[in-house]
């Protein structure tokens, strides 16, 4: 068997696998949309409105301040030596916790 024949055989196998994956993905999508609408309706009923951006901002502020205080207590150079890292870190923590709390809850 020549190298060209082996390449053609490998290409046919890859093409067959791609067709199989596309078929299985289509079958899965069809099954979810056609066979499970009642389950999806019941599952989506559990999602209600969350805490909102205002409440998440308050919670994020509290969490960010507490984490910043903990970092300041355990920092090696003390609070003053780490201040240039604490201030941007506080804002990054605040932004992260604010958006994640509003998104998750």
Yes or no: say if 26 and 56 are a contact pair by the CB < 8 Å rule: no
pLDDT number for residue 101: 81
pLDDT at 46 over 70: no
Residue 99: which pLDDT band, with cuts at 50, 70 and 90? Answer: confident
**Per-residue CA distances from 36 to 25, 82, 99 (Å):** 16, 55, 32
pLDDT at 1 over 80: no
pLDDT at 20 over 80: yes
């Amino acid at each position: 068997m020549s190298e060209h024949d082996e390449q053609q055989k490998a290409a046919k196998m890859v093409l067959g696998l791609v067709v199989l994956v596309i078929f299985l993905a289509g079958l899965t999508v069809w099954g979810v949309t056609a066979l499970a609408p009642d389950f999806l309706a019941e599952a989506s009923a559990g999602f209600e409105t969350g805490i909102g951006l205002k409440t998440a901002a308050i919670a994020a502020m509290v969490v960010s301040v507490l984490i910043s205080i903990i970092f300041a207590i355990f920092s090696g150079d003390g609070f003053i030596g780490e201040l240039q890292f604490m201030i941007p870190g506080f804002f990054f923590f605040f932004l992260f916790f604010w958006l994640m709390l509003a998104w998750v809850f």
